[in-house]
Amino acid sequence: MLFRFLFCLLQQIRLLVLVVGLTVISWGSPLALQAQVGHGGQPFSLPATKAYEAGVPVERMPALPQSVAADRAAVQAGKGQPLRFAHPFFVNYNPQNSGIWQQRKDGTRVWRLALQSPGAYSLNLIFDRFSLAESDSLYLYNPSQEVVLGAFTQKNNQASGVLATAPIPGDEIIVELVVAASSKRQSDLLIAAVNHDYLNVSSLLALKNSRFGRRGTCHADVSCEEDPLIQAAGQAVCRLIIDGTELCSGTLMNNSRNDGTPYVLTAAHCLPGEDSHNTVVFTFNYQVPNCNAAIEGSFVQTVSGSSRRAFKSELDMALLEMSELPPAAYRPYWAGWTRTQSPQAPVRSIHHPEGDVKSVSRSASAPVATTFQYFAPQGHWQVARWEEGTTQGGSSGGGLFDAEGKLIGYLSGGWATCSDPVNDYFGRLGVAWDYIADAEAQLAAWLDPEGTHSQSLEGTWFYSEPVERWSNQHIDETAGWWAPPTGGGPYSGHNAARDVAFAEMYGTFAKAKLHGFYVVPARSPLPVPEASTQQLNLKIWQGVDAPEDLIWSANNLRLSQLPDGREYLVSLAAPLEVSGQIWVGMELNYPAGIDSFALYQSPYSLERVNTAWLRGGDGQWLAFDERYPDVGPASFWVDVLLSEVELLDTLVAPPAAGAARVVPNPLRGNTLTLLLPEINGHARVSIYTLSGQRVQQQQVLIYNGRGTLTTGTLAPGIYLLHLNMGERRFVEKLVVQ
């Protein structure tokens, strides 16, 4: 039996107004390339190719045992329960018996230990003892520091004393403990297991990928999903790594108190040991961005550890409570649920097949209640056939959602494959609700603590000011990198023109909070010694007509830390308050003989509003379509994480000649009037969500400067409305209430 496991098209609104009163922001917020709810800072050691080059003692694991071959064969044969992907080496390393201590001039003491397991696709650790003193911090990273976990601090201490870490690509990992001179007690650390990821070792470059590309070819990416209810549900689904060796999926669940308690529902068979819940690492937002299947999503937004609240093997049900709330910057959604006995079709399952990027499977038919294997009678939903996608190992525990985006079940097992997508079985939420009277074996006690006996519950974003990912990339475009026909390097990176800075523009904001940003490299050097001199600086600017004031900076990142084909998440240690227009991007240097870095950018098009900016060697900033007027407008792929957004609204004034206005705004019905003075003819009108999803496109007749558009049903929120008439283009904010 085989068990298994969402452009912000915020284009710059070219409002013909003078932006005044820009907020003055101090800059220098520390960079946090973090995971597992890290708490800012960076390691003391410099990036290196190998650990020994950094002067760190290396503890080498033995060769993999012969039993691993059987594990690989089991995966190939579709056997197993949770997907086993790693072999554990049980060890006993602590700051007292291994590694090296160094003391800095300020009295800070630093302990480092390198762990190596040759040929590993990635490594992760289990700490059996993890208790950091108040002023101490811990980092884990590969030698190149492409991936840095931390800083872990006292805030990461758990009652169990256990800490499991997310996988770090490659076959070497460095552990760094920083002890402040003022530290009054000794941190207690014991590394008990080094887990060697042995799947796909031979076919993937260890420092460029994690699980990306493991799943079957029939899977659909959740970020391509058009239904906003399913988009929201997708933000509740996370990947689970258990015991450092097993992969499953789970769903963050709402409860009747709507209090944000971080319950995650998964399959009981995903927890092989009595204490396995202590080791679970929950990964959020591991999905391809913007429906671009060629780009791997970031996998650093994680939470480690949980408590077991409900568990029943007979129902294959496990409800975990994460050790801490997933931060707002993770954009978590607490899924709604229903105990219905007659689910509405279509239904979808959202899961991480083979531990790969988040996927969605669709069935046009309603599932039917059935008895599956040795589990409780009539305790499962049978999905007879998937019209799109399937499930695989790693999908276990993944949610089954009805047509309203409410959870009705969790994947227990089945036989569906890409070639034969039939017969998958999901534990029924309605049965697991109170089939067993014991609170520790049912869902009702936890998801309905008030005893409302509700048949269903809506989902919630919980945070009063949710964070949203904004992008200027059209979801229906193919991002790439381009160069002039005469050559000389890409427009978006190292080139013969020696452009030194590249920035993407957002705004105009009355106010907003910036939590971080994504950079998506289209090409980048391999992490080889000759690339080590190549560095870049990440920057955020503010201004009126161009990037004028630097408000945040992180300098001297090695280009090899930004591998191409994977989005690179920069989390700010504290949200940055911004206003007016902002530009987010980078500065490059030009080492002799090396031209190798480029950002993804949009295809240039006269129909788009330009948001890409470049600074040449003369220090002058120019919009892309000013620098390259024969090419046209473009956008660089730099997305931002924003909350509490208020766009500068000038739509209350009648439009001047050459401008546009939509009324009413906010929209409470479904009819809009388009005001375009002195214009007659047909306009193409497109409406986009802030995430870049085009939800409508139609032709509208403009006569004597007026046109009428019937929008149909739009969910409440903020949209961008694009009007195109030949070479005349307008972008307007539309608020739907």
Alpha-carbon distances, residue 91 vs 15, 126, 189, 299 (angstroms): 62, 10, 13, 26
List, for residues 374-400, the tens digit of each pLDDT value.
999 999 999 999 999 999 999 999 999
Which three-class secondary structure string do you get for 128-145? EEEECCCCCEEEEECCCC
Which residues, 6 or more positions from 165, have their beta carbon under 8 angstroms from its beta carbon?
A: 36, 124, 125, 126, 127, 140, 149, 244, 281, 304
- Residue 26 banded pLDDT, cuts 50, 70, 90: very low
Quick one: average pLDDT of 82-106? 94
Residues near 579 by beta carbon (within 8 Å), at least 6 away in sequence: 21, 22, 23, 509, 510, 511, 512, 542
Helix (H, G, I), strand (E, B) or coil at 468: strand
pLDDT-wise least confident of 20-29, 132-141, 535-544, 617-626: 20-29
| CATH fold of the domain at 661-736 | Immunoglobulin-like (2.60.40)
Of the candidate ranges 241-245, 474-478, 515-519, the one whose mean pLDDT is the lowest: 474-478
Gap between the Cα atoms of 245 and 235, Å rounded: 24
Q: CA-based angle 351:142:35, to the nearest 5? A: 45
> Per-residue pLDDT tens for 555-607?
888 787 788 889 999 999 899 999 888 999 999 988 766 568 999 999 877 77
Q: Strand, helix or coil at 214?
A: coil
The larger pLDDT score, comparing residue 34 to residue 427, is at 427
pLDDT surpasses 70 at 72 = no
Of 27-31, 49-53, 127-131, 397-401, the one with minimum mean pLDDT is 27-31
- Distances in Å between the Cα of 32 and the Cα atoms of 151, 569, 587 are 8, 9, 19
> Using one digit for the tens of pLDDT, what is the confidence trace for 437-457?
999 999 999 999 999 999 999
pLDDT over threshold 50, residue 719: yes
Alpha carbon distances (Å) from 653 to 144, 579, 675, 731: 54, 21, 12, 16
| 46-50, 54-58, 91-95, 105-109 — most confident range | 91-95
Those residues whose C-beta lies under 8 Å from the C-beta of residue 105, and which sit 6 or more positions away, are: none
How confident is the model at residue 240, as a pLDDT?
Answer: 97
Chain segment 252-291, per-residue pLDDT in tens? 999 999 999 999 999 999 999 999 999 999 999 999 999 9
pLDDT of residue 208: 37
Strand, coil or helix: 531: helix
Residue 636, by phi and psi: left (phi above 0), alpha (psi -120 to 50) or beta?
Answer: beta
* Strand-by-strand arrangement of the 728-736 sheet: 694-702, 681-689, 717-725, 728-736
Domain locations along the chain: 34-197, 235-277+286-457, 468-647, 661-736
- Residue 193: the pLDDT is 96
Give residue 701's pLDDT band: very low, low, confident or very high (50, 70, 90): confident
CA dist., res. 129 & res. 131, Å (int)? 6
CA distance 393 to 77: 11
Region of 230 on the Ramachandran plot (φ > 0 left; ψ -120 to 50 alpha; else beta) = alpha
Measured CA to CA, the distance from residue 289 to residue 292 in angstroms comes to 6
> Average pLDDT for residues 529-540, to the nearest whole number?
75
Query: In angstroms, rounded to a whole number, what is the distance separating the alpha carbons of residues 91 and 180?
Result: 27
Mean pLDDT of the chain: 86
**pLDDT on residue 207:** 33
Count of residues making up the chain: 737
352: DSSP letter? -
Domain 235-277+286-457 CATH (choose: 2.40.10.10, 2.60.40.420, 3.30.56.10, 3.50.50.60): 2.40.10.10
Q: Is the pLDDT of residue 317 over 60?
A: yes
CATH of 468-647, one of 3.30.60, 1.25.40, 2.60.120, 3.40.720: 2.60.120
Task: Determine the pLDDT at residue 592.
Answer: 62
Give the burial class of 414: count Cβ atoms within 10 A of its Cβ; 0-12 exposed, 13-18 middle, 19 or more buried.
Answer: buried
Percent of the chain whose predicted confidence (pLDDT) is above 90: 59
Taking the CA atoms of residue 498, residue 500, residue 506 and residue 511 in that order, the dihedral angle to the nearest 10 degrees is: -160
Q: Is the pLDDT of residue 53 over 60?
A: yes
Pairwise CA distance, residues 566 & 614, whole Å: 23
**Among 336, 362, 85, 367, which residue's Cα sits nearest to residue 221?**
362
- In percent, the amount of the chain with pLDDT more than 70 equals 88
For residue 73, what pLDDT is reported? 62
Residue-wise pLDDT tens digits, 176-209: 999 999 888 899 999 999 999 998 532 233 333 3
